[in-house]
Homo-oligomer: A and B are copies of this chain.
Amino acid sequence: MSQTVDRALSILPLLAEGPADLGQVADRLGVHKSTALRLLRTLHEHGLVYRQSDQRYRLGARLFALAQEAMENLDVREIAHAHLVRLNERCGHTVHLAVYEENEVLYIDKVESRYPVRMYSRIGKPVAITVAAVAKLLLADLPEPERRALAEKLDYPMYTPRSTPHAAAFLQELAKVREQGWATDLGGHEESINCVAAPIRGADGRVVAAMSVSAPNVVVTADELLTLLPLVRRTADAISGEYSGRTPAEPT
Contacts and interface: CB of A to CB of B under 8 A. Distances in A.
Interface stretch (A35-43, A144-152, A189-197, A215-223): A35-43
Interface in A88-130: 101-102, 104, 106, 112, 122-126
User: What bracket does the count of chain A residues touching chain B fall in?
Assistant: 35 or more
B70 A58 contact: yes
A19 B102 CA distance: 17
B47 A102 contact: yes
A156 to B, nearest CB: 20
Q: How many copies does the complex hold?
A: 2
Given A65-B106, A125-B68, A2 B6 contact: no
A17 to B, nearest CB: 8
A46 B124 contact: no
Contact of A2 (B4, B48, B104, B122): B4
A221 B146 CA distance: 57
Contacts of A5: 4-5, 8, 39, 42-43
Interface of A: 1-2, 4-6, 8-10, 12-13, 15-19, 38-39, 41-43, 45-48, 50, 58-71, 73, 101-102, 104, 106, 112, 122-126
